[in-house]
Chains A and B, each alone.
Chain A
């Protein structure tokens, strides 16, 4: 069965640094999403992306965040200047008929 691939599985970064989380969605999916899960909490929606544009974003997705699909394959989430509270598991998802999630990237900001 096709999978959504996320890299890296774990990233440690210093506060204030930029990070890029990468996702390779399933090729025939049209809609793409990023979600965040702070340790011990619920899975929260960050942003949805369709036709090379953001279609919806949450209050969490402020100016420090950006997404792009630079080459029609990879789907990336950039955090411009990381804060301690950005430490979380980040999930990428794609949607065709249903939703498929990647296995997540654990981001630790120190």
Chain B
């Protein structure tokens, strides 16, 4: 079955500290992986995506993620968090390419709080 697991429901880090949010997936085909961020009451903003090529992808707002096929993981990292990074983060998996109708599946999210 296709699924996305975000094992951390809530993480608190100090401003300026590094961050890693974990994501594991199960997907039958070649995965197309995403990280989205959502502020309270707002929509989904795409941080970054991976389909192929370099397994370390750079995104907006200083975020990066590394695809590890052997571990079925796509962890999100940021070297130094800012108070404005406090939000809900969702990992998602889907299928890339024009010929696939496969839906995108979301993890349950990780809420990030920033300690001043």
Contact = CB atoms under 8 A, between A and B. Distances in A.
B104 A93 contact: yes
B43 A42 contact: no
Interface of B is mostly: loop
Interface in A14-49: 30-31, 33, 35, 41-45, 48
Contact of B32 (A45, A48, A98, A106): A98
A44 B96 CA distance: 19
Interface residues of B, number: 24
Nearest to A55: B101
Interface residues of A, number: 26
A97 B44 contact: no
A45 B101 contact: no
B43 A102 contact: yes
Contact of A91 (B44, B49, B101, B109): B44
Interface of A: 30-31, 33, 35, 41-45, 48, 50, 55-56, 89, 91, 93, 95-99, 101-104, 106
Interface of B: 32, 34, 41-44, 46, 49, 51, 90, 92, 94, 96-98, 100-101, 103-109
